[in-house]
Amino acid sequence: MKRPDQKTGGNPAASESRQYHELAKARIAGGVNSNVRLSGAPMCFVSGKGSHLTDVDGNVYIDYALGMGPTILGHAPAAVIAEVSRTLALGQLFAGQHTLELEVANEFCACIRSAELVRFGLSGSEMVQAAIRVARAFTGRPEVIKFEGHYHGWFDNILINLNPPVAAGGNPIPRPRHLQSGGQSPHASDDIAVLPWNDVGAIDQYIGANASRIAAIITEPIMFNTGGILPKPGYLEHLRQVTSKHNIVLIFDEVITGFRVALGGAQEIYNIQPDLSVFAKAFGAGFPVAALAGRRAIMEMFASGGVNHSGTYNANLVSLSAALASLRELTANDQAAFKRINSTGKALMDGIAAAGRKYGAELQVSGMPAAFHTCFPRGPIHDYATYTTADQKKLGRFLTALLESGVRPTSRGTWFVSAAHTDEDVASTLNAVERALQRIG
């Protein structure tokens, strides 16, 4: 509920948020603690409750950024906060085992059908590293295939070709490697081959010539880090077939899709059994917890101690109690939370698309009800290269107009939906979308 002194939306460019940001920049590099937050307005929040965030100016936003996906139950969900608070009194970290670990592992494996064994960590980036390492150890092969436009964390070896320049001279396979950060080792990704996604021919061509050196394929099952693009019918099945045929480990990076597009992640929706999969974000409802799970034969390589996966804070009590409470909330009442999220998300997707048609805007809404992407395409979009033709400037104007009306998708145009979003939120959001489309023309 809004207080009388609270405003809906605002102009963060001329505000306390801006002043805070200037002060923060004098002490914190860039005034932010994750480079992803450099883009977008310099907003400074004081609190969140349910689907709403309040900033230092008293502006209230309907939040669809949801911490970049994690807060699937909304901000400060009572059941999770209560469980974490209860556990806090027992301690933080024991450098040894505690009973919550098995409890969470059992609940987790009941949700994820490919999970025979699991390991917990803190972030998606590090569990991706564990996945790649164990895949190499299991196969005894060096190379990993990743796809253009996909993001698997910020570490040297894998932070490549997220948004490279589109190759001018045709369609080289593999793509020229494009490092995304200053200071990245140019050799850390020597054993990563980059291919276009959603392209069966590219996979067959590359694997046909190199199968014996390929340890793994890592893929976002839905390309949420570029355009919310769905896999073409049969594409994930093809990846499964070709990897099985050549004893290549298939890794699904379900950091965004896991516990979000369905309780069992994208692998449940597409009915594919990856060898390994990585989870984070919605798994902990906003608390730092991640997981790597998969086939027993592969995961056993950690058990022998032959493959190292470590971390001081792994499976700490706060993270695991949050995960436990979150899983219980997501599974309660025959997954009522997912029914709610899916109906809210569908109403938003349909409503935004209808507003686009009403105002003659080439507005595309793609993805799943629980997470979708809006953009202004100039042609059909099915992969990274086709996504780059969309009108990014127009998207920027659309997102700014929404923010000023109190609606906050991510600064890249992705919308995450929580179980806390209400029908009233949907109605206010669709009004804001219409106003934004009118304004940007």
Ligand X SMILES: Cc1ncc(COP(=O)(O)O)c(C=O)c1O
Query: Rounded to the nearest whole angstrom, what is the least distance from the CB of residue 245 to ligand X in the complex?
Result: 26
* Omega within 30 of 0 (cis) for the link into 288: no
Let me know if 281 is a catalytic residue.
Answer: yes
Kindly give, in sequence order, each residue whose CB lies less than 8 Å from that of residue 80, ignoring residues fewer than 6 positions away.
73, 285, 286, 287, 322, 325, 326, 329
Q: Is 205 exposed, middle or buried (0-12, 13-18, 19+ CB in 10 A)?
A: middle
42 binds ligand X (CB under 6 A): no
Residue 162 binds ligand X, judged by CB under 6 A:
no
Judge whether 253 and 265 are in contact, CB under 8 Å: no
Out of 8, 11, 19, 123, the residue judged to bind ligand X by CB under 6 A:
123
Nearer to ligand X, 9 or 258 (CB): 258
> Would you say 405 and 432 are in contact if contact means Cβ atoms under 8 Å apart?
yes
Instruction: Tell me which stretch binds ligand X (CB under 6 A): 146-154, 165-173, 297-305, 339-347.
Output: 146-154
Q: Taking a C-beta distance cutoff of 8 angstroms, is the pair 40, 46 a contact? A: no
Q: Does 255 bind ligand X (CB under 6 A)?
A: yes
**Distance separating alpha carbons of residues 194 and 80, to the nearest angstrom:** 39
Q: How many residues bind ligand X (CB under 6 A)?
A: 14
Sign of CA dihedral 138, 141, 142, 146: negative
Residue of 61, 64, 151, 235 marked active site: 151
Q: Examine the residue annotation and report whether 235 is marked as an active-site residue of this protein.
A: no
Q: Judged by CB under 6 A, which stretch of 121-129, 167-175, 329-337, 427-435 contacts ligand X?
A: 121-129
Among positions 48, 153, 284, 294, the unique one binding ligand X when judged by CB under 6 A? 153
Is 253 part of the annotated catalytic residue set?
yes
Residue closer to ligand X, measured from CB, 75 or 152: 152
CB of 34 to ligand X, least distance (A): 8
Beta strands 52-55 and 45-49, pairing class? antiparallel
Which of 220, 275, 329, 434 is in the footprint of ligand X by CB under 6 A? 220
CB of 31 to ligand X, least distance (A): 19
- Report, in angstroms and rounded to the nearest whole number, the Rg of the chain calculated over CA atoms: 22
102: part of which helix (H) or strand (E)?
Answer: helix 99-111
Least distance from ligand X to the Cβ atom of residue 42, Å: 21
Least distance in angstroms from the C-beta of 3 to ligand X: 33
Residue nearest to ligand X (CB): 124
Distance separating alpha carbons of residues 36 and 414, to the nearest angstrom: 13
Decide: is 408 part of the binding site for ligand X (CB under 6 A). Answer: no
Q: Is 152 in the site for ligand X (CB under 6 A)?
A: yes
The span of 160-168, 253-261, 265-273, 397-405 binding ligand X (CB under 6 A) equals 253-261
Collapse the DSSP code of 215 into the 3-class scheme (helix H, G, I; strand E, B; otherwise coil) and give the result. strand
Query: Is residue 265 close enough to count as binding ligand X by CB under 6 A?
Result: no
CB of 152 or CB of 408, closer to ligand X: 152
Q: 55, 57, 63, 253: which is the annotated catalytic residue?
A: 253
Cα distance between residue 344 and residue 323, in whole Å: 23
Query: Nearer to ligand X by C-beta: 203 or 280?
Result: 280
If one asks whether residue 267 binds ligand X (CB under 6 A), the answer comes out as no
Taking CB under 6 A as the binding criterion, the range among 75-83, 148-156, 180-188, 300-308 that sits at the site for ligand X is 148-156
Q: Check binding of 225 to ligand X (CB under 6 A).
A: yes
Query: Is residue 128 at the binding interface for ligand X, with CB under 6 A as the rule?
Result: yes
DSSP letter for each residue of 273-319: --SEEEE-GGGGTTSS-EEEEE-HHHHHHHHTSSS----TTTT-HHH
Stretch that binds ligand X, among 80-88, 117-125, 132-140, 337-345 (CB under 6 A): 117-125
- Is-contact 304 282, C-beta < 8 A? no
Tokens of 36: 């992803």
The 76-115 site mask, x for binding ligand X (CB under 6 A), equals: ----------------------------------------
Nearest to 327 by CA among 317, 315, 335, 316: 335
Backbone angles phi, psi at 215, to 5 degrees: -80, -40
Q: Which active-site residues does the annotation give?
A: 151, 253, 281
List residues near ligand X by CB under 6 A. 68, 123-125, 128, 151-153, 220, 225, 253, 255-256, 280
